[in-house]
Homo-oligomer: A and B are copies of this chain.
Amino acid sequence: MTTPHGDFDTPAFMAVGTKANVKGLLPQQVAATRTQVVLNNTYHLMLRPGEQIVEAAGGAHRFMGWPGPILTDSGGYQAYSMADINDVDDDGVTFKSIINGAKIRMTPERSIAVQNAIGADIIMAFDDCPPSMDPTVGPTNQTRIRIAAIRDGAKGIYDHAARLRIANERTVRWLERCKAAHARAEDQALFGIVQGGTDLEARAWSAERITSIDLPGYAIGGVAVGELQDDIASVTRHTAALLPEDKPRYLMGVGYEQDIVAAVLAGVDMFDCVLPTRNARNGQAFVREGTLRFRNARHERDFGPIEAGCGCAACDPAGHGWATPDGLPFSRAYIKHLFMASEMLGPILLTLHNLWHFQTLMLDIRQAIAEDDWPGFAQKWPRVAAAVPGGDGVV
Contacts and interface: CB of A to CB of B under 8 A. Distances in A.
Contacts of A322: 26-28, 31, 65
A237 interface: no
A347 interface: yes
Given A57-B303, A300-B53, A303-B56, A331 B26 contact: no
Interface stretch (A15-23, A138-146, A154-162): A15-23
A334 B56 contact: no
Interface stretch (A105-113, A183-191, A335-343, A380-388): A335-343
Contacts of A321: 28
Identical copies in the complex: 2
Contacts of A20: 334, 337
A65 B24 contact: no
Contacts of A65: 317, 322, 324-325, 328, 330, 334
| SS of A interface (majority) | loop
A301 interface: yes
Contacts of A328: 58, 62, 65
Nearest to A56: B301
B326 A53 contact: no
A48 interface: yes
Interface string A1-33: 000010000000000000111011111100100
A349 B28 CA distance: 13
Nearest to A5: B325
Interface string A347-358: 111000000000
A321 B32 CA distance: 12
